């Protein structure tokens, strides 16, 4: 069994989140990297002790690894929010990954670096050795199981995505055929999240060609740099479009589509091999959290 420490805002929600990850045996709410020994909740709450509300995640390395846990962690935090997550403000709500040994540190570093580069100068996620950790009082353990409907800064969408990711991972285990993978993922995403259109366009001979999808009939081919899909491919980054009418060159496969997200899918060499395109009939459907989750899901289908 291995242990890692994640500070991601209020530990009630973070503990509930990690306890739902397959391979995690235990998620203990506590206080890490502060000054005074054995602090109480009230002392940490004063924000004078230097502690961060942190979750100790005990996991079975055969089922889930440190890099995957870190990728999941980046799906539940705002990495550019300093000392604040959701409505919770204070240094005790800072974000960080605290590692107890160098082996785990080396496994996590590329994930942290990638996120740091994406986020730019405001990146606020610590990456440090664990100095100390004290479990919180019993009333804070399994808090949201004891208080269903209690305060949780992580919204329901996060828990729906966690279930989706975890089901996709087990359903796709051992499957290498790209069309099968894309077919299963588009059906699963569409079924669980109830979007308007979910599908893949594959890169074939220098153009995007329609692949497995769920929803209305869509255009068959999209050129490099064209529309949202072709732009995400050319720029090799996720594009979140809150209002398709504001996106110059948007290709309207359906007049009902109002907002959209497109995520590049990479092959083993890191080249864009396809894009995942999701449309909604409402404006402003997708945000940075959708982007992080869908990137993680696309990571499952290295083509
Ligand atoms: N709107 C996309 C085209 C694909 S359809 O949304 C399914 C775009 O602008 O690339």
Full pLDDT tens readout for the chain, 303 residues: 999 999 999 999 999 999 999 999 999 999 999 999 999 999 999 999 999 999 999 999 999 999 999 999 999 999 999 999 999 999 999 999 999 999 999 999 999 999 999 999 999 999 999 999 999 999 999 999 999 999 999 999 999 999 999 999 999 999 989 999 999 999 999 999 999 999 999 999 999 999 999 999 999 999 999 999 999 999 999 999 999 999 999 999 899 999 999 999 999 899 999 999 999 999 999 999 999 999 999 988 765
Question: In this structure, what token pair is assigned to residue 238?
Answer: 């996720």
Q: Taking the model in full, what pTM does it have?
A: 0.94
Judged by DSSP in three states, 102 sits in helix
Cα(156)–Cα(145) distance, rounded to whole angstroms?
15
* Catalytic residue annotation: 10
Q: Which atom of ligand 1 is nearest to the CA of 247?
A: 9
| DSSP secondary structure code for residue 32 in this structure | E
Question: In this structure, what token pair is assigned to residue 90?
Answer: 């204070």
Question: In this structure, what token pair is assigned to residue 298?
Answer: 């696309």
Question: In this structure, what token pair is assigned to residue 115?
Answer: 């996120």
Which of 214, 215, 219 for a ligand 1 pocket mutation test, highest count of atoms within 8 Å of Cβ?
A: 219
């Amino acid at each position: 069994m291995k242990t890692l420490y994640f500070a991601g805002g209020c530990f009630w929600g973070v503990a509930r989140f990690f306890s739902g990850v397959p391979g995690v045996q235990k998620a203990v709410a506590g206080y890490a990297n502060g000054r005074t020994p054995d602090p109480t909740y009230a002392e940490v709450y004063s924000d004078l002790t230097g502690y961060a509300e942190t979750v100790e995640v005990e996991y079975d390395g055969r089922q889930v690894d440190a890099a995957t846990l870190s990728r999941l962690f980046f799906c539940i935090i705002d990495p550019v929010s300093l000392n604040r997550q959701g409505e919770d403000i204070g240094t005790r709500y800072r974000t960080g990954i605290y590692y107890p040994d160098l082996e785990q540190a080396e496994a996590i570093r590329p994930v942290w670096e990638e996120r740091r580069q994406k986020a730019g100068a405001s990146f606020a996620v610590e990456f440090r050795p664990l100095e100390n950790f004290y479990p919180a009082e019993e009333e804070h353990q399994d808090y949201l199981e004891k208080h269903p409907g209690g305060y949780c800064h992580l919204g329901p969408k996060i828990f729906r995505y966690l279930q989706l990711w975890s089901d996709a991972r087990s359903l796709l285990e051992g499957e290498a055929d790209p069309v099968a993978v894309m077919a299963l993922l588009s059906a699963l995403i569409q079924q669980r999240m109830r979007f308007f259109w979910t599908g893949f366009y594959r890169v074939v001979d220098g153009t995007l060609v329609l692949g497995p999808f769920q929803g209305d009939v869509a255009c068959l081919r999209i050129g490099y740099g064209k529309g949202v899909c072709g732009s995400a491919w050319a720029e090799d980054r996720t594009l979140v479009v809150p209002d398709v009418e504001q996106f110059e060159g948007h290709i309207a496969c359906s007049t009902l589509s109002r907002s959209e997200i497109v995520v590049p899918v990479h092959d083993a060499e890191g080249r864009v091999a396809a894009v995942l395109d999701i449309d909604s009939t409402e404006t402003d459907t997708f945000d940075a959290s959708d982007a992080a989750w869908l990137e993680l899901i696309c990571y499952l289908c290295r083509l």
